[in-house]
Amino acid sequence: MYSCTSVHVYQFAIYSYIYFTMQIKKIKKKLLLQYLVDTHLALYIPNKVQIASLLLTQPTMLTTLHGINTTIQKSASVLQIVRSTSTFLLAAKTIMSASRGAATDITSKQTTPSIWNIVPMGPPDPILGIGVAFKKDPDTSKINVGIGAYRDDNGKPWVLPTVKEAQRRIVEKNLDMEYAPIEGLDSFNKAAMKLLYGEHNPLLEQKRIVCLQSLSGTGSLSVAAHFLAQYVKNKNVYVSKPTWSNHYGIFQTAGFTVSEYRYWDPNTNGLNYDGMIQDIQSFQENSIIILHACAHNPTGVDPTKEQWQGILQAIQKGNHIAIIDCAYQGFASGDPDHDAYAVRLFAEHHHPVFVCHSFAKNFGLYGQRVGSISTICKDHDEYARLDSQLKIVARRLYSSPPLHGARIVAEILNDPTLYEQWLQEVSTMANRIRSVRQALHDELKNLGSE
């Protein structure tokens, strides 16, 4: 059956009229067909322009959506006329007459402004937009310094050898593609917590860390934002100045007011530690503070261990809630344990914290969207309640996380041989990043830049 609006019926009648008028005048069908294609009637009529047969087999084409039921009720007399090819023109005129009133109404509706006229053009993403512009640039010597993705010496994406091996093993296992649970892959979550909090952390043994697999860093931050929006009265979120641009949008979308605390000192090209502490101490109680675990984005400047301890103390005094964005574990120093210092410090002091963990960078799984969100609980009752509510938030945001990337990470972290190899690969990437950064600095200095 063909479903057409009254606009199509009216068009159909007009084109039918034209068709048989042209037939009478012995104008070639080919000219008509081109006309119908140009006017899009071919979109509604299959088999090129089988107008007569379509009308004979589809009586519903003779009615409109504006209640012209009398057309069908009188279809017997109309179809008799239709079946007579020599008088088909009369049938077309009958349809046109019945549809004219409805078509007038439709024409007026077509001039009504679209409901989407209020939607403005959005700005391009400040980071991903650079990637789009990069692909369009025909210059063969171009270099993309916008998106934080690792490249080899030839400027090409690099798939870690451990990732290739893990994928090979996963394919051989012939695993299913069923939905993952809301919390994600259990083997991944356990491995992610060990990597982040330390394999022998007593909190793991006591089962006091809730962990859900999430959609990389953005997904885990979104889960944290929507959860906190429900249960925290203070709607103030503070981010470092500067910070990753998506921090603003994620928390503003969840209903928070996002402000900044001092972080980068342009005079020293380092951390403005005193200004940061002063700002944290001035925040209203129970504010939410977003911190970068390591390899601060975009400055690359991280607090020392002693400074982290001072930051924790300032946050504790204000009863603030910390969110630690851990997107580069292993990239800052080449050692994942060293880069997890801030996370383990907050865990050791049992301070309320959400850790948003991404595996995009350190595993090179940018397009697989692998991450986790975890938080520390004081007892099993709190664990059960937070676990249940975080799952509800995740269910509403994305239902369940993807499997393939999580399987790759779990395969590597849970296999001693692959894990040791991965540690070497992370160290190699971190060392190369530092050497390239130093080479860029030296070359800019040689060119007279200060």
| CATH classification of the domain holding 205 | 3.40.640.10
How far is the C-alpha of 221 from the C-alpha of 247, rounded, in Å? 8
Count the Cβ atoms, other than its own, within 10 Å of residue 185.
21
- Residue 211 exposed, middle or buried by CB count within 10 Å (0-12, 13-18, 19+): buried
Quote the radius of gyration of the chain (alpha carbons, Å): 32
Q: What is the pLDDT of residue 72?
A: 35
* Residue 109 annotated in active site: no
Q: Classify residue 155: in a domain, yes or no.
A: no
Residue that terminates a domain, selected from 78, 98, 115: 115
Q: Which domain holds residue 181?
A: 161-428
Residues 180 and 317 in one domain: yes
* Residue 325 annotated in active site: yes
Q: Classify residue 136: in a domain, yes or no.
A: no
Residues 318 and 392 in one domain: yes
Which residue of the set 264, 302, 339, 361 is catalytic? 361
Q: Classify residue 290: in a domain, yes or no.
A: yes
Which residue of the set 264, 279, 302, 325 is catalytic? 325
Number of independent structural domains in the chain: 2
Residues 262 and 357 in one domain: yes
How far is the C-alpha of 297 from the C-alpha of 303, rounded, in Å? 13
pLDDT, tens digit, for every residue of 332-342?
999 999 999 99
Residues 194 and 282 in one domain: yes
Longest dimension (CA), the chain: 97
Residues of the chain with pLDDT under 70: 1-110, 147
- Whole-Å CA distances, 16 to 50, 67, 77, 94: 10, 22, 18, 11
Which residue of the set 244, 264, 339, 422 is catalytic? 244
Side-chain-facing half-sphere of 371: CA atoms under 13 Å: 27
- Whole-Å CA distances, 60 to 8, 9, 72, 161: 12, 9, 7, 62
* Residue 244 annotated in active site: yes
Residues 180 and 86 in one domain: no
How far is the C-alpha of 218 from the C-alpha of 315, rounded, in Å? 24
pLDDT, tens digit, for every residue of 69-123?
443 344 444 344 334 444 444 444 554 455 455 545 555 556 788 999 999 998 8
Q: Classify residue 350: in a domain, yes or no.
A: yes
Q: What is the pLDDT of residue 79?
A: 40
Q: Classify residue 188: in a domain, yes or no.
A: yes
Q: What is the pLDDT of residue 97?
A: 53
pTM score above 0.85: no
How far is the C-alpha of 71 from the C-alpha of 295, rounded, in Å? 73
